[in-house]
Structure 1
């Protein structure tokens, strides 16, 4: 507690989503350090020092900021959390993997900084946006089969919140059984021909950290048998708006998914 404020006032965000939420709630003054991978909001990169990557962090630099709370995400950041906890820092590591989890995260984070009412309004805006997209999706003439590729070598299919957003946007994920797996290694598709067999109408790529290459995907052996490849329905969804389990996925990410799914749904069916 500083200056009579019972809530954290010096927060370090090890991933983008807490930064985006706190800025959206007007609580950005509490942030003293962010992840170097943060791109949303753009002003955060100008205003806040960058002290971490995703799997590594500058522990000394974080301690120099004297944080009263550090926020991270997932078991992948367990080592960072351990080192900070050993140094006496309070750490919150969230591990949500679903749309409901993202909405709950917004509400919990808001409560942690004394902004419950603002967080409830913000989460309500996201829920209303989801309902609006669901209504638009219900008007589509068909539901395209969608293969979402999170990485290419080896192929890794989309995580749970991505698969859920695909359904909300009007498509059907062709690997629903893998979407339930929280770890990327459990979503590896060892046999690329299995993707061919599932006959996606639309292929969406979001290769975290590098540009999606539709031409490279289309040239994979045997992939001319896929409707999406024959019809040129291969598109990139930028990773910052879909692979972060935060507000970006519920707004810009969902919009981008729905736009591509609607295009595929309204295109002439594959002969």
Structure 2
């Protein structure tokens, strides 16, 4: 008589995560035992780097190393990983590349990934926890006397403004993104500010920097020609938001990234809002 398989056996057992957000979600859901490989850029949760082999960057991957892990499911993000996905698919591996770019997209991503590994209820509870965080901060931000105008800089050379989920989180946290029309562009090259004086004219009250892969240097920003006229520079309101908690379209942005932004905006409101 054949053994009856448990229901969880029908779900992926050997998952490779090409970016950080699926790793963070699966750990949060208690499903980390399914992960057999992760991105070398993974920092959340910290223990993942100690427990799982690192087999990919963002635009490249160790295809042969991934295949040696015998994955039954590979999870990646965005069209930038299309070539990696193509190679793995050609090798017979099942691949899911998400392409979400909004806060609602992140919430849906958590729920979809959870459902794919047989943890739909846990994923829904985790997403609802994020939604409660968003609602709490929105409610607190509604008490601000004045919403600060915010310039978010994703890169410094050339100047690149924030992507859609970042602009949405700025709004949720109590600020007003000064370049909302650019945030809808999914590709960084379409969010380049060719003329730095656009920021001067926008006159942001706060400048947030998150230079992916390197430390934000507020003194360099403040020294740009003509930028001393910007209220944020004049008042010393330049802050770094660490890229791992804001530039990954996953839980970190909804929890730590949003909390960090709101803390900065709350302090500004205390000093300048009246």
Cα drift, residue 265 of structure 1: 2.0
Work out whether 1:224 is the aligned partner of 2:238: no
- Which position in structure 2 is the counterpart of 1:136? 140
- SS of the residue corresponding to residue 147 of structure 1 reads strand
- SS of the residue corresponding to residue 16 of structure 2 reads strand
Matches within 5 A, 1:174-253: 174-253=178-257
Taking the aligned partners of 1:120 and 1:72, their CA distance within structure 2 comes to: 21
Work out whether 1:261 is the aligned partner of 2:265: yes
- Which position in structure 1 is the counterpart of 2:102? 98
Taking the aligned partners of 2:37 and 2:273, their CA distance within structure 1 comes to: 50
Taking the aligned partners of 2:19 and 2:68, their CA distance within structure 1 comes to: 19
Taking the aligned partners of 2:90 and 2:17, their CA distance within structure 1 comes to: 18
2:144, 2:273 within 8 Å by CA — same for their partners in 1?
Answer: no
Give 4+ residue runs of structure 1 displaced > 2 Å after superposition: 1-4
1:70, 1:89 within 8 Å by CA — same for their partners in 2?
Answer: yes
- SS of the residue corresponding to residue 254 of structure 2 reads helix
1:34 corresponds to which of 27, 31, 38 = 38
2:71 corresponds to which of 59, 62, 67 = 67
Work out whether 1:88 is the aligned partner of 2:92: yes
2:145, 2:273 within 8 Å by CA — same for their partners in 1?
Answer: no
Taking the aligned partners of 1:130 and 1:233, their CA distance within structure 2 comes to: 24
Q: Which runs of 5+ in 2 are unaligned?
A: none
1:49 corresponds to which of 50, 53, 56 = 53
TM-score, length-scaled by structure 2: 0.97
Work out whether 1:166 is the aligned partner of 2:194: no
Cα drift, residue 2 of structure 1: 9.8
1:10-66 deviation digits (Å, cap 9, x = unpaired): 000000000000000000000000000000000000000000000000000000000
Taking the aligned partners of 1:128 and 1:245, their CA distance within structure 2 comes to: 18
Taking the aligned partners of 2:157 and 2:140, their CA distance within structure 1 comes to: 34
Work out whether 1:5 is the aligned partner of 2:9: yes
TM-score, length-scaled by structure 1: 0.98
